[in-house]
Amino acid sequence: MTAEELRRRLESFRRGELPAEDLVADIRAEPFEDLGFAKPDHARELRQGVAETVYGESKEPGEIAAIVERLRSRTGRPVIVTRVSREKAEALLSLVPGMRYDPASRLATAGERPEPDGAGTIVVATGGTSDAGVAEEAAQTAEMLGNRVVRVYDVGVAGLERLLSHVREFQSAAVVIAVAGMEGALATVIGGLVPCPVIAVPTSVGYGASFNGLAALLSMLNSCAGGVCAVNIDNGFGAAVAASRINHPEARR
């Protein structure tokens, strides 16, 4: 149940159209459901503005399918499953009718992608094509959360003219998600060009001294450009949720 749906039901109760016991039953049923192996959080969207997402790694396909089915049946909202391997996806697609899978982002989704209703555009940029998997996790998650997304890939600072050719897209964005490995300089350069928040996503792409993304993470945390913040290594999903919240200011009312 969303905040708007709760307001409508409260208004129906105020007008005498909804019995008190029905309203109590709705609210009581909201928080979570105990499946034994998991407790789907049906009130997540009401509290946070975004419905619960299923982390697919380390879960069996049958467990994922059961959680998705309960979330869909209760909220009717699209459900996102992150970090799904190709092998797990094959089993999952046979268990959940209509589920889709994207191997690049490793996202499985159930339900139709909503029409964009965010205040502006989220631009997702990558330093190189090797960062595209994490970027697609961010871009597709943002789209499933109702955002218009523009992709600007392979514009790393080693060829600065590539990035500068997209300055208009960056400067017209509501939020930029900058995805990069190696030394992670992309976020700082973009941060120096735009008036909007920049969410930096370090990736585990790089040679030995990149320490599987730690070098990029530290570089992004030490950015000298104001308005740049960083999420965890390879966390495209987390960046997308943060960007979507910025792009949906009305959800905080």
Do residues 174 and 53 share a domain?
no
Residue that finishes a domain, picked among 80, 110, 140: 110
Instruction: Please report, for residues 26, 98, 126, 181, the alpha-carbon distance to residue 129 in angstroms, rounded to integers and kept in the order given.
Output: 47, 30, 7, 11
Is there a contact between 181 and 204 (Cβ–Cβ < 8 Å)?
yes
Domain membership of residue 221 (yes or no) is yes
Domain membership of residue 246 (yes or no) is yes
Q: What is the pLDDT of residue 103?
A: 95
Residue that finishes a domain, picked among 63, 85, 110: 110
Do residues 86 and 161 share a domain?
no
Exposed, middle or buried by CB within 10 Å (0-12, 13-18, 19+), for 7?
A: exposed
Domain membership of residue 199 (yes or no) is yes
Task: Show the domain range for 52.
Answer: 48-110
Is there a contact between 106 and 234 (Cβ–Cβ < 8 Å)?
no
CA 109, CA 196: separation in Å to the nearest integer?
A: 29
Q: Domain total for the chain?
A: 2
Domain membership of residue 183 (yes or no) is yes
For the chain, residues with pLDDT lower than 70 are 1-4, 23-30, 33-34, 43, 46, 251-253
Q: What is the pLDDT of residue 10?
A: 80
Do residues 149 and 239 share a domain?
yes
Do residues 129 and 94 share a domain?
no
Q: What is the pLDDT of residue 241?
A: 95
Do residues 159 and 202 share a domain?
yes
Domain membership of residue 207 (yes or no) is yes
Do residues 146 and 187 share a domain?
yes
Do residues 94 and 156 share a domain?
no
Do residues 127 and 202 share a domain?
yes
What is the Cα gyration radius of the chain?
20
Q: What is the pLDDT of residue 47?
A: 73
In the chain, pLDDT over 70 holds for what percent of residues?
A: 91
Do residues 247 and 136 share a domain?
yes
Q: What is the pLDDT of residue 15?
A: 85
Domain membership of residue 242 (yes or no) is yes
Domain membership of residue 23 (yes or no) is no
Do residues 177 and 74 share a domain?
no
The pTM for the full model equals 0.85
Do residues 191 and 227 share a domain?
yes
Do residues 85 and 205 share a domain?
no
Is there a contact between 32 and 43 (Cβ–Cβ < 8 Å)?
yes
Domain membership of residue 17 (yes or no) is no
Residue that finishes a domain, picked among 83, 110, 137: 110
CATH number at residue 133: 3.40.50.1970
